[in-house]
Structure 1
């Protein structure tokens, strides 16, 4: 049988995202800073934000955007992102957020697949956005450049028109709010259909666990176009009336400077940032003692790395688990969860239930006795709850492969659970290396490699040896000034793992390719594999 979240169910309001986030703003809330542009320091209070959202919604309606139409938003983290994103939803349209790192061809594919009728972008990204629009036949007057560009309307143009937000009506339980695209690390990107209820549910599920409130200041470096930044930073941050300080891209010096100057209290990060916080000498030059919690997601955070960050910054470190198809958070170590092992991603969020299923037999694994420290056998993690997507856009087969008839989403991740309901992700089902019949989790070897003082970053994939056997290969980024040989790395790992888990090959590289959300792009490593 499945196991439920240990937390009591929470009420999930039957509201649109706009009404849920902004419908109960008080006069005191309206004067509070909602967003601060990190590079310039410009402040947008909640009163201005809501006014801009309404004006964007009105401008969209004036341009013929109707309930259910798709509008693309292609932008890094700037305060205007919030105005446009929520303006799209306020108009009853669907926001498809486009990765700011995408090429013109990537953008064109998403515009085509989503059938977007308008595109918002920024001037630094206009060349690729414009080329994509030309590919798909989207006219120049359907491209809005937030900060302005010749031949295109700007956000200021839309705001100064003064159009009132339209009166719209839809069912939050079924009406799509956002259409993010899955990362494509294991295949062609797919449009993930998330309703207003999905997004409202996920904020409601995680709000009691995160510990963030109106007096907190959040550094918004995780991209809003990714579902992690969209839900946990943008929507949750605004719901609790916190202040978000935006960064358009990650730069360690700016990250540390803004944390110091703006007295950031919550850092939401991905594991690559944790590596820098644990190891980079620049950290010592800044006073970041205001930080009371570092929360990591998007990929598994190694326990040793997390503890190193906690000790160096003298703060709490937590992690969670999720995916775009889950809106995205399904598990999280709570802010007050000092007794929850950092090797786990915590228990299932409220209003949800899990199964762990042996992928070989299709049978559920045996669960440990309640309250025990024992862990189950590994299996694929299945999740059911109000945050689970409707399905993949116009892709019935992919939807059927991922969502079963009982409403469980099959994550493709291998997990174990302890007697307190804390789930630990072992690895991706499709990324496990099979060496002589033994399963070798790349994440385990990556975590071990990161404990070496001369290794700044690492990734592991399976490659074929001369005999056609799949073996673990490590891609290693050295610390500046460090010197290691292939034999050094192989010996270091061999001393600490079972024989079948030993690294058999090593390639030194300058950087580990990762998605904007921090996931290792193993397909890129396979493409660049030279040994």
Structure 2
């Protein structure tokens, strides 16, 4: 049974994303403010943004970079992020966006796997960037610093500055892009395993903007969008950065979440659209600091990246006197496939809303393969990724011959086409909206000489947040504490992936084929709580 969106299909232009966003930029819109740096208040107009994009594209062309090449963008949210991102795309170059929290080894893996030839970063990340680019197999030939090329003593660094590239007088390369060209290579753990490059085309990204706008028609040129969630994450990239540009809204950037700064920026710049993940909702609903700021400008709070509890969402709506909505997506879906429409605040907030236009869904029983009103959510539409980079096996496991992407989440659907996520097939842990693949942590734990075996699952902490818990079997005679295990992991991996609870057990439950029986570990966890 195929469930279609209740909305009529929309036309998806067959153009590159920069042309779609800037090709019809009017003189009036060119003078509008596109980006405000929330920390400094510095403003960038749409005309200035478009001009800088052209110059960065020209600089890449001068360096011989073009269609088929990849650059890596390793930076927090800032006004130059869209310049680099769209400038690369305008030159025919794809961009792999890198998690700002990555360690040198994690960064090096993504640089190797994507084949990136240039790394764009900031001085605060330079030590990690240098350590990564020096590793074997990394083909980066130039590192570009967004924020300057001199150290604290005024000594020039060997890296080039973005300002140097933007000073070019060369012409933007004439690259005719189609929807089939690769645009972005964000990395995702998918339904399991180590992070994989998600191949998103220009058509994927253009389609999702057009689809999303149908349910968000009141977000327009008069809106101000707070971009506190990172642009390197597909949620921030599409829903905040690119959607803001598309509707000519003003996007207010934050490099990282800090509650006081978050509230100050909303109040000072009169932000009316706030996109969050559930941990921010907890602060908005409960923290006394919220009452110290005038944030009655907020009209809509939209939550994504992980499930938002309806009771928490209603508490936010009541405290801020705003509409709270929820959506669903994956990196592999560009990312939004379902959302609550802005004009339907009455919809069940425990739901993920309805399918976006041009999307078809199936609910398939993971055991029997039968289709019905409950099952694993399969999604087909123009926003579905092309493939996983250099990984045909993982692609085949996730994307079937009929074009349906198997999400790994179990859903139900009502007669009105409203979907609810009710369970999970995939092993992925979602910590504060970030993906944490258990297999990656397990592999790391097994490199410790004192650990004989290990398994990781997601458990709930006191605040209801999902966190990674490790079940550890020690080698005979080994002496390790839980703090030892957590410290070992923390030194070698990005902070959001850290193991936060450890339990020592005698044996990891496994199937006859050697697969970890996580359901048995979850049952053990439930029995102990």
- Category of TM-score, reference length = shorter chain: 0.7 to 0.9
Match of 1:250 in 2: 257
Q: Per-residue displacement from partner, 1:460-502 (whole Å, max 9, x unpaired)?
A: x9xxxxxxxx9995432599xxxxxxxxxxxxxxxxxxxxxxx
Match of 1:218 in 2: 225
* Distance of 2:503 and 2:259 partners within structure 1: 29
For residue 130 of structure 1, report the CA deviation from its aligned partner.
1.1
Match of 1:31 in 2: 31
With 233-242 and 154-163 compared, the bigger mean Cα shift is at 154-163
1:205–1:351 CA contact under 8 A, matched in 2: yes
For residue 169 of structure 1, report the CA deviation from its aligned partner.
2.4
Match of 1:272 in 2: 279
Match of 2:268 in 1: 261
Q: Helix, strand or coil: the match of 1:177?
A: strand
Match of 2:450 in 1: none
Q: Does 1:133 align with 2:118?
A: no
* Distance of 1:189 and 1:257 partners within structure 2: 35
* Distance of 2:346 and 2:253 partners within structure 1: 32
Q: Helix, strand or coil: the match of 1:143?
A: strand
Scaled by the length of structure 1, what TM-score is found? Answer: 0.81
For residue 33 of structure 1, report the CA deviation from its aligned partner.
0.5
* Distance of 1:225 and 1:473 partners within structure 2: 26
Match of 1:416 in 2: 412
Match of 2:392 in 1: 396
Q: Does 1:180 align with 2:155?
A: no
For residue 144 of structure 1, report the CA deviation from its aligned partner.
0.2
Q: Helix, strand or coil: the match of 1:64?
A: coil
Q: Per-residue displacement from partner, 1:32-68 (whole Å, max 9, x unpaired)?
A: 0100111111101011000000000000111110212
Contiguous gaps of at least 5 residues in structure 1: 366-375, 433-441, 448-458, 462-469, 480-506
* Distance of 2:141 and 2:70 partners within structure 1: 16
For residue 24 of structure 1, report the CA deviation from its aligned partner.
1.0
For residue 187 of structure 1, report the CA deviation from its aligned partner.
1.6
Q: Helix, strand or coil: the match of 1:389?
A: coil
1:22–1:50 CA contact under 8 A, matched in 2: yes
Residue of structure 2 aligned with 1:476, choices 452, 458, 462: 462
- Specify whether residues 397 and 141 from structure 1 end up closer, same or farther in structure 2 by C-alpha distance, changes over 3 A only: closer
Match of 2:476 in 1: none
Q: Helix, strand or coil: the match of 1:116?
A: coil
* Distance of 1:524 and 1:107 partners within structure 2: 20
Q: Per-residue displacement from partner, 1:199-232 (whole Å, max 9, x unpaired)?
A: 0000000012123110001111110001000000
* Distance of 1:272 and 1:301 partners within structure 2: 9
Matches within 5 A, 1:87-126: 87-126=87-126
Q: Helix, strand or coil: the match of 1:7?
A: coil
1:237–1:243 CA contact under 8 A, matched in 2: yes
- Specify whether residues 231 and 471 from structure 1 end up closer, same or farther in structure 2 by C-alpha distance, changes over 3 A only: closer
* Distance of 2:31 and 2:392 partners within structure 1: 46
Q: Helix, strand or coil: the match of 1:524?
A: coil
- Specify whether residues 471 and 55 from structure 1 end up closer, same or farther in structure 2 by C-alpha distance, changes over 3 A only: closer
Q: Helix, strand or coil: the match of 1:79?
A: coil
For residue 338 of structure 1, report the CA deviation from its aligned partner.
2.2
1:319–1:333 CA contact under 8 A, matched in 2: yes
Q: Helix, strand or coil: the match of 1:215?
A: coil
Match of 1:315 in 2: 322
Instruction: Give the count of matched residue pairs.
Output: 453
For residue 93 of structure 1, report the CA deviation from its aligned partner.
0.5
For residue 387 of structure 1, report the CA deviation from its aligned partner.
0.3
* Distance of 2:462 and 2:191 partners within structure 1: 20
1:141–1:153 CA contact under 8 A, matched in 2: no
* Distance of 2:370 and 2:108 partners within structure 1: 42
Q: Helix, strand or coil: the match of 1:135?
A: coil
1:145–1:153 CA contact under 8 A, matched in 2: yes
* Distance of 2:504 and 2:294 partners within structure 1: 43
2:98–2:232 CA contact under 8 A, matched in 1: yes
* Distance of 1:271 and 1:125 partners within structure 2: 27
Matches within 5 A, 1:140-159: 142-149=142-149, 150-159=157-166
* Distance of 2:458 and 2:304 partners within structure 1: 25
- Specify whether residues 520 and 308 from structure 1 end up closer, same or farther in structure 2 by C-alpha distance, changes over 3 A only: farther
Matches within 5 A, 1:366-445: 376=373, 378-431=374-427
Q: Does 1:238 align with 2:245?
A: yes
Match of 2:512 in 1: none
- Specify whether residues 410 and 231 from structure 1 end up closer, same or farther in structure 2 by C-alpha distance, changes over 3 A only: same
* Distance of 1:62 and 1:176 partners within structure 2: 21
Q: Helix, strand or coil: the match of 1:85?
A: helix
1:330–1:348 CA contact under 8 A, matched in 2: yes
* Distance of 2:80 and 2:420 partners within structure 1: 37
1:141–1:152 CA contact under 8 A, matched in 2: no
1:140–1:152 CA contact under 8 A, matched in 2: no
For residue 171 of structure 1, report the CA deviation from its aligned partner.
2.7
Q: Helix, strand or coil: the match of 2:211?
A: helix
- Specify whether residues 267 and 183 from structure 1 end up closer, same or farther in structure 2 by C-alpha distance, changes over 3 A only: farther
Q: Helix, strand or coil: the match of 1:342?
A: coil
- Specify whether residues 400 and 185 from structure 1 end up closer, same or farther in structure 2 by C-alpha distance, changes over 3 A only: closer
Q: Helix, strand or coil: the match of 2:406?
A: strand
- Specify whether residues 235 and 396 from structure 1 end up closer, same or farther in structure 2 by C-alpha distance, changes over 3 A only: same
* Distance of 1:425 and 1:185 partners within structure 2: 15
* Distance of 2:281 and 2:458 partners within structure 1: 24
For residue 322 of structure 1, report the CA deviation from its aligned partner.
0.2
Match of 1:328 in 2: 335
For residue 162 of structure 1, report the CA deviation from its aligned partner.
2.1
Q: Does 1:524 align with 2:499?
A: yes
Match of 1:305 in 2: 312
